[in-house]
Amino acid sequence: MGLACGIVGLANCGKSTLFNAFTATPADRAVYPFSTLEASEAVVSVPEPRLKQIEQLIPTERLVPAALRVVDIPGLVPGSSTGKGLGNKFLGAIKECDAILHVVRCFDRPEVVREGPVNPTKDMEELEFELVAADLDTVTRNVDRVTKKARSQDKQAKFELDVFSRAKHVLEQGKMLRSEQWKPEELVALRPLFLITLKPVLYVANIDQDFIPGGSKWAKEVHDHAKALAAQSMEICGDIECELVNMSPQDRAEFQRELKIPELGLPRLIATTFSLLGLQTFFTAGPKEIRAWTIHKGDTGPVAAGAIHSDFEKAYVRAEVYAVEDLLQYKTEAAIRAAGKLRVEGRDYVMREGDVTHFLVSK
Ligand SMILES: Nc1nc2c(ncn2[C@@H]2O[C@H](COP(=O)(O)OP(=O)(O)OP(=O)(O)O)[C@@H](O)[C@H]2O)c(=O)[nH]1
Ligand SMILES: [Mg+2]
């Protein structure tokens, strides 16, 4: 199904606008809060300049970029975790996501309703409080669940109880789970709980158009907050991005010149989200299509083959592999082979970023 990132943020911070920019399709934007009542989902292409570079040397019928699912998650409000606003309805949608884009309102526009003056720090803390409360609820229920089992000296249950109790303690202090160091086996125990504050997050300061060159004091609050949590952050003007992606390329170029916006923020946002997910890309290239595929860093050849077709993981025999850079240097696969740069890799091979592969699978 592909990996998913969920767009969260308090009401009217610009989530649907950003979602619209992502998908270049009209989402239900509005100046009143709770304009979005259901989570909507779209699939976006991950920008990949190397596809075109490969095409220069291996002519093909079509280019297929990797895909990322984006989910617009309805308005969270202070108190959501206890049923206020749309209540807990949002939780399921966030839990299913692999990464979170936390959108923060850094624009002042009186007609776009909000309670009190623009205050990014307060907004971030309020939303995080809701997420922490939601996780605390989940963890508490699971502590209760394994406590009885742990008493009967069940080793696995005892381990889970330790891990869950520590998670509970972290959350009770108002901290997010990703702020803690977890061992791989602890993460394995926590994974089935789909905890929200354990997911990687990117803070997105949704700024006013006037601050596109930078210098928004509100955006700085977002960057500082993210930095203190060892998280990444970036600035974007949702409104402008949304307008730009819906324009013809000519109009867009003119508009960008006029407004002095050298580059769209969106491709960078997608690329950052992609790296946040700990992903890497490999390619398959032939006369029918050149395609970018998504795997996790550290995945082996068989796992990569399985991304193409689930049967291929078992049926994997070997892979012929070279790097995109080799293709750019030697120009043809035959020349890469002649230069001894085409590698034959077995089942233990750990894929590298930018591999171009032909998989040999058994019938
Ligand atoms: N000035 C300015 N206005 C923006 C920006 N992004 C969004 N808006 C406006 O803010 C209003 C609310 O945006 P939405 O995208 O509907 O907000 P939302 O977070 O999806 O709201 P809910 O779904 O109701 O929680 C719209 O009128 C947008 O045009 C921005 O970057 N700058
Ligand atoms: Mg919305």
Name which residue leads in pLDDT, 177 or 68. Answer: 177
Check: CB of residue 357 under 8 Å from CB of residue 320: yes
Largest CA distance in the chain: 71
Q: How far apart are CA 337 and CA 67, in angstroms?
A: 31
pTM for the whole structure:
0.84
Whether ligand 1 lies within 6 angstroms of the CB of 30 is answered as: yes
Beta strands in the chain (DSSP E): 4-8, 40-45, 62-64, 67-72, 99-106, 201-207, 232-236, 279-285, 289-296, 316-323, 343-345, 355-361
Ligand 1 centroid to residue 9 C-alpha, Å: 11
Among 268, 307, 264, 239, which residue's Cα sits nearest to residue 16?
A: 239
Residue 86 pLDDT:
60
Whether residue 196 is predicted with pLDDT greater than 70 in this model: the reply is: yes
pLDDT band with cut points at 50, 70 and 90 for residue 363: confident
Long-range contacts of 216-225 (CB under 8 A, 24+ apart): 216/106, 218/106, 218/107, 218/118, 218/120, 219/106, 219/120, 221/106, 221/120, 221/121, 222/104, 222/106, 222/120, 222/124, 225/120, 225/121, 225/124
User: Mutate which of 109, 115, 259 to test ligand 1's pocket (most atoms within 8 Å of Cβ)?
Assistant: 109
Determine whether the shortest distance from the Cβ of 17 to ligand 1 is under 6 A.
yes
Give the CB-side neighbour count of residue 281, counting CA atoms within 13 A.
Answer: 23
**Binding site membership of 178 for ligand 1 (Cβ less than 6 Å):** no
Cβ atoms within 10 Å, residue 176 = 20
Joined together, the tokens standing for residue 7 give 């767009």
pLDDT digits (tens, 9 = 90+) for 277-324: 888 899 999 999 999 998 888 899 999 999 999 899 999 999 999 999
Residue nearest ligand 1's atom 7 by CA = 14
Q: How confident is the model over 151-188, as pLDDT tens digits?
A: 888 899 999 999 999 999 999 999 999 999 999 999 99
* Domains of the chain with bracketed CATH: 4-275 (3.40.50.300), 298-361 (3.10.20.30)
The pLDDT value recorded for residue 52 is: 95
Cα of 109 vs centre of ligand 1, distance in Å, is 10
Closest C-alpha residue for ligand 1 atom 21: 12
Calculate mean pLDDT across residues 254-260.
Answer: 87
Extract the tokens encoding 224: 């500082």
Would you state the pLDDT for residue 22?
Answer: 81
